[in-house]
Structure 1
């Protein structure tokens, strides 16, 4: 199926979107390892924050993102955010109770009734076996009447310790769910898909535009920020209602969204909106602390009720509950009082922000943006020639690819376009795809790539056993992730650079396995040119480098990086320069012996080593006329 990729709506905005979102996605991937191990509660926190910022960016930068993919991306990222929600809440609550005990509990020596738990008698988490009196080996739940211990503790400690143990137990129980959620996210390959798309978007934008400071970028930032400010102000009337918990919670979310939007667009403005972001962080912190109090105020009574029921089930009566009631009631009262204090602090902060003219200053700043120093050399970018490397038919020859990309970089190429057939015949199919991805090469799929992914060899085609072996080897030595990446490539893509429309495809715009080279009739090229809507058409497939112009359309066959067929075994690629326009083919020597030894070590047919060492086609060497 042929899929045309549309140019970005605004190259500058697209580049800024990519450069903003890529660090968030890379951070998400790194933090997931810590989520699995649970060594530090900050892993869950940072992962959750990253997912929220990514979701915000999916909305903010939607004009540059593929509409057919945004919905799935947003749903997948939202799922991991929700999966981490309870764990993060428990981590925060455990940390709070730990610190609350340290700050507020002062132990004194006294005899106290031992409260129950789900633990076996004599193995209570708060008391050692030596401290337990009156518990025999044959005691049954419900038969215990009085358990006493001597221990130095504040009367509030047992209730808080009980709550802490329950929270820790719950956190431990849900940890496997977090591991499953992280695994599910990786199985979707959504982060990799987003990273791949954004890298491509960034490269396209860089060669199409240059600076990130376009009128569209600032207009979109202004509208997004002003809309978020308006949403936040909608909750201002509820600041006069201290008990309106729901609206205060929604205001917290609105403040957080505004902060995320400011952070996303901060690179467009001088000083990065640091003062404004800091102000919203303070506002969000107060609202967040209020929300935490609201959670405790709601949950502590429910916890008290649950523990009463638990005491009755375990002992047959609720008397033992009295030992933990003091601490829980004290915690509840503390959180209610703190909630009142925070509400007053919110009023003071909000009034201060207003009195200092913060809102007017912010709106003035985003209405009249100064030029950003995102990249100091952006201003000169549009005056420089654009040089693009054109490659094709790598055929799993990693040494050749490495040499070509190094040479292209040395010659000043700002981007690399790959016309397909990246795997097959060579010994490094997985390594080549990984190298293309890590080098952010823009690629289309080739006919040989498709044949491998579709397991064409199982149908008995091609007839050559050597070619069947090549396809089988390539498929079996591709990772699942790289198969997914390869299968997601389109048959063609288009770029517009300095007013020049460029089309990249493997064979021709009509057929993926059509040869366009020196032997193609001019009438056929003219037929293609009339309907291609392109100024330059870049192809591969024939492994024979050529440059031809028909009317105003330039046809460039890149030749082959990894399997040349013109008698010159050196790798071949092309350099396209715009402003002024020029195309030149480049031959690059590489370590052929390394490629040959790898093919021999992996027991690939000897005819393949002759192809790359002699620069001849398989059919010339084997005498077969069997298409791939």
Structure 2
């Protein structure tokens, strides 16, 4: 692996591992919900780095790091999802059209609070297990060693060519993003919508890692991807809510809900009709929000993002590939010309 690639890898892993390390104590204390969110994002970015730098630092360590980060990230994701759902339900309280709906919302909040507590207990255990693996210390130690050995300035990085493996990753994620775009015309194609969101996220993180090689010109692409990812995340949340609310119509769910109320001493306040009223009201609200978001993401893709990844990004990748010595210009040029085919 060339020195500038090792430098990029070490720089990225050092930055993200520090961010992750700062958030882990806050997860254990469970006082600030943003600790879980920030730690989850750092895990995702570290995993994105592992997918891009597949030979760094070694195959064995690469697998170990990926496994540890994946396990931690999964539990953090479950905890974060419950935080987001509770925030949403609390926000709906003032919008509730009737007292009956509010009583039903109280039941939903109670259930999600219990689920959040369980998710945080699992996240806490995952943090303990992750610390014991020593993966975080390994990442930080390896990054420090490389950064002490290799010193590359920003100006020098802009003179180095993009390596073909990185260009192939960019092309893969861009192709996936484009392939799933027609699904935005189909409101019920949740699987493709989710896959398109993941492709946008992977492309964005990869470009963030490679931005020292691509230069400031990549910033509009990153901004567009971030906006698109935010909208797709909101759409995904709507779709998850609709599936969950549909499941709450089941009688087994209602029985579980009543048991939870009785467990905390609220059995006399249980009202199945109020709960159904809240579920129906939320379903209608989420359907309307889903339709609006689908229209917005469809417009954003055609009006902005498609051009950014299909035109601006393609040019930047070609330019970065074509940098380098005269000796390597031939094969790099052939690859670059085939990038958009």
Query: Given the two structures, how large is their TM-score scaled by the length of structure 2?
Result: 0.84
Q: Distance in 1 between matches of 2:135 and 2:223?
A: 32
Q: Give the structure with the higher percent helix.
A: 2
Question: What corresponds to 2:331 in structure 1?
Answer: none
Q: How does 1:316-335 map to 2 (within 5 A)?
A: 320-335=271-286
Residues 354 and 187 of structure 1: is their aligned pair in 2 closer, same or farther, counting only changes over 3 Å?
A: closer
Question: What corresponds to 1:100 in structure 2?
Answer: 92
2:144 paired with 1:199: yes
Question: What corresponds to 2:119 in structure 1?
Answer: 174
- Matched position secondary structure for 2:99: coil
Deviations, residues 159-210 of structure 1 (Å, cap 9, x unaligned): 1121112111221233222221111111111110111112222233339xx9
Question: What corresponds to 2:324 in structure 1?
Answer: none
Q: Distance in 2 between matches of 1:301 and 1:81?
A: 27
Query: Is the radius of gyration larger for structure 1 or structure 2?
Result: 1
Q: How does 1:545-624 map to 2 (within 5 A)?
A: none
Q: How does 1:236-255 map to 2 (within 5 A)?
A: 236-255=181-200
Deviations, residues 111-132 of structure 1 (Å, cap 9, x unaligned): xxxxxxxxxxxxxxxxxxxxxx
Question: What corresponds to 1:389 in structure 2?
Answer: none
Q: Distance in 2 between matches of 1:358 and 1:180?
A: 40
Kindly state the Cα deviation for residue 330 of structure 1 after the two structures are TM-superposed. 0.2
Question: What corresponds to 2:295 in structure 1?
Answer: 344
Q: Give the structure with the higher percent strand.
A: 1
From 38, 41, 44, the equivalent of 1:49 is 41
Kindly state the Cα deviation for residue 341 of structure 1 after the two structures are TM-superposed. 1.3
Q: Distance in 1 between matches of 2:169 and 2:231?
A: 24
Kindly state the Cα deviation for residue 307 of structure 1 after the two structures are TM-superposed. 4.6
2:249 paired with 1:308: no
Kindly state the Cα deviation for residue 310 of structure 1 after the two structures are TM-superposed. 4.1
Q: Distance in 2 between matches of 1:355 and 1:37?
A: 43
Q: How does 1:69-218 map to 2 (within 5 A)?
A: 69-102=61-94, 104-105=95-96, 154-206=99-151, 211-213=156-158, 215-218=160-163
Aligned pair count?
313
2:168 paired with 1:223: yes
Q: Check whether the contact 1:12–1:213 (CA below 8 A) recurs between aligned residues.
A: no
Question: What corresponds to 2:29 in structure 1?
Answer: 37
Q: Distance in 2 between matches of 1:268 and 1:216?
A: 7
Q: Distance in 2 between matches of 1:211 and 1:311?
A: 61
Kindly state the Cα deviation for residue 219 of structure 1 after the two structures are TM-superposed. 4.3
Question: What corresponds to 1:364 in structure 2?
Answer: 315
Q: Which runs of 5+ in 1 are unaligned?
A: 1-8, 107-152, 371-628
Question: What corresponds to 2:339 in structure 1?
Answer: none
Q: Distance in 2 between matches of 1:362 and 1:171?
A: 40
Residues 21 and 354 of structure 1: is their aligned pair in 2 closer, same or farther, counting only changes over 3 Å?
A: closer
Question: What corresponds to 2:325 in structure 1?
Answer: none
2:244 paired with 1:299: yes
Most deviating of 12-21 and 300-309: 300-309
Kindly state the Cα deviation for residue 213 of structure 1 after the two structures are TM-superposed. 4.4
Kindly state the Cα deviation for residue 354 of structure 1 after the two structures are TM-superposed. 6.1
Q: Which runs of 5+ in 2 are unaligned?
A: 322-341
Q: Which has the higher contact order (CA 8 A, sep 6+)?
A: 2
RMSD between superposed Cα atoms in Å: 2.7
Deviations, residues 421-448 of structure 1 (Å, cap 9, x unaligned): xxxxxxxxxxxxxxxxxxxxxxxxxxxx
Q: Distance in 2 between matches of 1:357 and 1:308?
A: 48
Kindly state the Cα deviation for residue 64 of structure 1 after the two structures are TM-superposed. 3.5
Deviations, residues 393-447 of structure 1 (Å, cap 9, x unaligned): xxxxxxxxxxxxxxxxxxxxxxxxxxxxxxxxxxxxxxxxxxxxxxxxxxxxxxx
Q: Distance in 2 between matches of 1:224 and 1:237?
A: 22
- Matched position secondary structure for 1:94: helix
Question: What corresponds to 1:559 in structure 2?
Answer: none
Most deviating of 270-279 and 198-207: 198-207
Q: Check whether the contact 2:104–2:271 (CA below 8 A) recurs between aligned residues.
A: no
Q: Distance in 1 between matches of 2:241 and 2:235?
A: 10
Q: Distance in 2 between matches of 1:312 and 1:357?
A: 51
Question: What corresponds to 1:21 in structure 2?
Answer: 13
- Matched position secondary structure for 1:63: coil
Residues 13 and 311 of structure 1: is their aligned pair in 2 closer, same or farther, counting only changes over 3 Å?
A: closer
Q: Check whether the contact 1:249–1:291 (CA below 8 A) recurs between aligned residues.
A: yes
Kindly state the Cα deviation for residue 273 of structure 1 after the two structures are TM-superposed. 2.2
Kindly state the Cα deviation for residue 212 of structure 1 after the two structures are TM-superposed. 3.4
Residues 185 and 354 of structure 1: is their aligned pair in 2 closer, same or farther, counting only changes over 3 Å?
A: closer
Query: Given the two structures, how large is their TM-score scaled by the length of structure 1?
Result: 0.47
Q: Distance in 2 between matches of 1:63 and 1:355?
A: 31
Q: How does 1:227-626 map to 2 (within 5 A)?
A: 227-271=172-216, 273-305=218-250, 306-310=252-256, 320-353=271-304, 359-369=310-320
